[in-house]
Amino acid sequence: MSEAIVKFSIQRFKSLLLEESPILSGLENQIQSLISILDEIGGLYSIEPMTEKHYKFESRWFRVVRDIVQKIEDYIDEFIILMASPSTSDQVARIDLGRIALEKLKDDLVQLMNRMSEHKNEKDVKVKQEDQMDSSSKGDEGEAPLIPPPINYYHINIPYYLRSCLMYCVIFPEKYGVTKGKLVRLLVAEGLIEEKNGEIMEDVAEEYIKTLVDFGVLHVDDNKLKVNESILPFLLKMIEQENFFASCTSSDTNISPTTRRLSIHSDAKNIPTNLKWVHIQTIPDEVGDLIHLRYLSLNKSNIDELPEIVSNLRNLQTLNVKWSKFQALPSGILNLVQLRHIKMLKHWGVAGVIVPAGIGGLKNLQTLTGLYAGDGIASELGKLTQLRKLGIMDFTENLVNEVCLSIMKMEGLLSLSLQAKSCYPEGTLPSIEQFTPPPLLQKLRLEGTLEKLPRFSRLPEDPALVLQFLPNLKHLTLWHAHDSKQMGKEFCSAGGFPKLEVLVFASFVLEEWTELEEGALPSLKHLHMHSCLKLRMLPEGLQHVTTLRKLTLIPLLDDHAERLKPDRGEESYKIQHIPEIEVMTTSMVQEAFNARTDE
């Protein structure tokens, strides 16, 4: 793990020089020197990588390397906050003190490098002598066959950057696991993803996760990623030895002041007494002291506001306030130049969260959801050309032109959600006819009744056909967006929705989906019909969608359920090829409701 610390620290210091260049300009030479020394230390790990000998060399120097590097990181973080503060103190004096401090840390790093180099040279000589003795004793016997490594060495036979990601996954209780999206954001925030020229780090993180799944050390269970149980005991031992993270199982747990990652189990009563700043109902001003914080989730909390001093959290990359009571975000978030993800979502039927004017200046932002786009924010969105996921609530007619113009500038947008104002129960989405969807759009959610389907420009003129010709669309949700009793083959013709894998459809009025042309939905894996309380017919032609792996019908009319039964149902031939079918009839829903009411 010391190799990982060195590599990731080099990456972070280089990024800071770019992102915080005005503040760090006075210390640029010192930081560049530190990067050079760390690069030389990294070179000491290049011989015999991913072997037991390599691992033992890492273990020998892990704590020393970690302690010095963490001191450097902490000092630079504190220096950035100090220089960014409005204090009138002498900035030149601060820079001079910074140079002296970093020179001292550089000397410590040079001494460490020399000691590591001497140790490695001694080991190389010893290993060479042992190899010569082994070779002479074998005579003409030839080479011994390669033996697969035992399971307890499984994780050291993968590169350091994958090894770090795997160890991080152990933080999550094995019973629950973690969703891929959350794990991606956390790995990037933790600095465990290597930067690659021309690639977005979140994409690289997804590649790492896929590799770990393919390698068999991670597996997917109920859409959650979990660590392979066979290597979990060894990983836990390694984590304890390397102090990779600390776990709290009671309030008596002693937490080291150098702890970088803390996992609190069960409930808030287990929070150690030396972390008294943690509160469930409020976030105190002291949150501004957590200047190293990179990921802050207040999901489903009772907190209704952030203090302005949140502006100190200049390392923060993810802010998650979904399902909280936030009405607005403070202007202090505009100082958080490293923010990559802002996830917001208020309770059903409530307007989106208000963000401060100037949000367009956050050039690293990739996710912005649960947003109120009024008061000039709609036009500011056009500055966020790097956005990949956008979710707008309270979408009204007066916002259409500005929102659409802004979205069309987001050429890398992958996910778009538009929710009508007061969409429950009768909200109506405004017409969005003059709109060119971003070319890479993969996920689209329209929530609220559409008076007619959008007539996107550069696509066929018939508005009933346009959605199926979005070339990269993989996930489509039409949530009460189709106001018709009957839907036919015009929804999707042969070859329509070429890459669509998930279709979610909700409608209180739909009664029949009559026909689906053969060759339509050629990639569909999951069809989810939700809240279709009057649905009494599935489309003829559904039996030809051979890629379909799951069908969800919640709820379903009792008589329709009878027609779908495999033994005697007259419509059963439409769905008999689908491996997984999830059905909940209206009577089952009523029974569940009655049972809950009686408790």
Confidence of residue 52 (pLDDT cuts 50, 70, 90): low
**What pLDDT is attached to residue 142?**
38
More confident residue, 48 or 70: 70
**What pLDDT is attached to residue 41?**
85
Q: Measured between alpha carbons, how far is 34 from 341 in angstroms, rounded to an integer?
A: 30
Q: Minimum mean pLDDT among 236-245, 299-308, 366-375, 578-587: which range?
A: 236-245
Confidence of residue 249 (pLDDT cuts 50, 70, 90): low
Q: Minimum mean pLDDT among 148-157, 386-395, 499-508: which range?
A: 148-157
- Mean pLDDT along residues 314-321: 92
Q: Is residue 71 part of a domain?
A: yes
Q: Measured between alpha carbons, how far is 434 from 457 in angstroms, rounded to an integer?
A: 6
**What pLDDT is attached to residue 270?**
52
Query: At CB < 8 A and 24+ separation, what contacts does 424-427 make?
Result: 424/348, 424/349
Confidence of residue 19 (pLDDT cuts 50, 70, 90): confident
Say yes or no to pLDDT of 447 above 80.
yes
List the one residue out of 293, 176, 150 whose CA is nearest residue 231: 150
Q: Measured between alpha carbons, how far is 494 from 499 in angstroms, rounded to an integer?
A: 13
- Mean pLDDT along residues 374-386: 94
Q: Is residue 70 part of a domain?
A: yes
The end-to-end CA distance of the chain, in Å, is: 52
**Average pLDDT of every residue of the chain:** 80
Under a CB-based contact definition with an 8 Å cutoff, are residues 178 and 169 in contact? yes
The per-residue pLDDT for range 267-281, each reduced to its tens digit, is: 555 555 555 444 334
* Portion of the chain with pLDDT greater than 70, in percent: 78
Q: Tokens 């200049």 identify what position?
A: 314
- Count CB atoms within 10 A of the CB of residue 131: 10
Q: Is residue 108 part of a domain?
A: yes
Say yes or no to pLDDT of 334 above 70.
yes
- Count CB atoms within 10 A of the CB of residue 563: 16
Please give the model's pTM, rounded to 2 decimal places. Answer: 0.81
Q: Is residue 540 part of a domain?
A: no
Say yes or no to pLDDT of 282 above 80.
no
**What pLDDT is attached to residue 58?**
63
Q: Is residue 41 part of a domain?
A: yes
Say yes or no to pLDDT of 97 above 50.
yes
Say yes or no to pLDDT of 331 above 70.
yes
Q: Which tokens in the block code for residue 129?
A: 């002598």
478 beta partners: 446, 505
Q: Minimum mean pLDDT among 235-239, 351-355, 550-554: which range?
A: 235-239
The per-residue pLDDT for range 556-584, each reduced to its tens digit, is: 888 888 889 887 789 999 999 999 999 88
- Count CB atoms within 10 A of the CB of residue 343: 21
- Mean pLDDT along residues 280-286: 60
**What pLDDT is attached to residue 198?**
86
Under a CB-based contact definition with an 8 Å cutoff, are residues 227 and 170 in contact? yes
Q: Is residue 30 part of a domain?
A: yes
Distance from the Cα of residue 218 to its chain's centroid: 17
* Portion of the chain with pLDDT greater than 90, in percent: 32
Under a CB-based contact definition with an 8 Å cutoff, are residues 573 and 550 in contact? no
Residue 26, domain extent = 1-134
372 beta partners: 393
**What pLDDT is attached to residue 599?**
46
Omega before 425 cis (within 30°)?
A: yes
Farthest CA pair distance, the chain: 86
**What pLDDT is attached to residue 307?**
87
Say yes or no to pLDDT of 30 above 80.
yes
Say yes or no to pLDDT of 214 above 70.
yes
More confident residue, 264 or 261: 261
**What pLDDT is attached to residue 140?**
42
The per-residue pLDDT for range 460-475, each reduced to its tens digit, is: 444 445 678 888 999 9
**What pLDDT is attached to residue 154?**
45
The per-residue pLDDT for range 503-547, each reduced to its tens digit, is: 999 988 899 899 999 999 999 999 999 988 888 889 999 999 999
Q: Measured between alpha carbons, how far is 160 from 140 in angstroms, rounded to an integer?
A: 37
Say yes or no to pLDDT of 439 above 50.
yes
**What pLDDT is attached to residue 387?**
97
198: which residues sit within 8 A by CB, 6+ positions away?
A: none
Q: Minimum mean pLDDT among 34-48, 174-188, 225-239, 289-303: which range?
A: 34-48
Confidence of residue 147 (pLDDT cuts 50, 70, 90): very low
> How do 580-585 and 550-556 pair as beta strands?
parallel
Say yes or no to pLDDT of 358 above 50.
yes
Domain count, the chain: 1
Q: Measured between alpha carbons, how far is 306 from 350 in angstroms, rounded to an integer?
A: 19
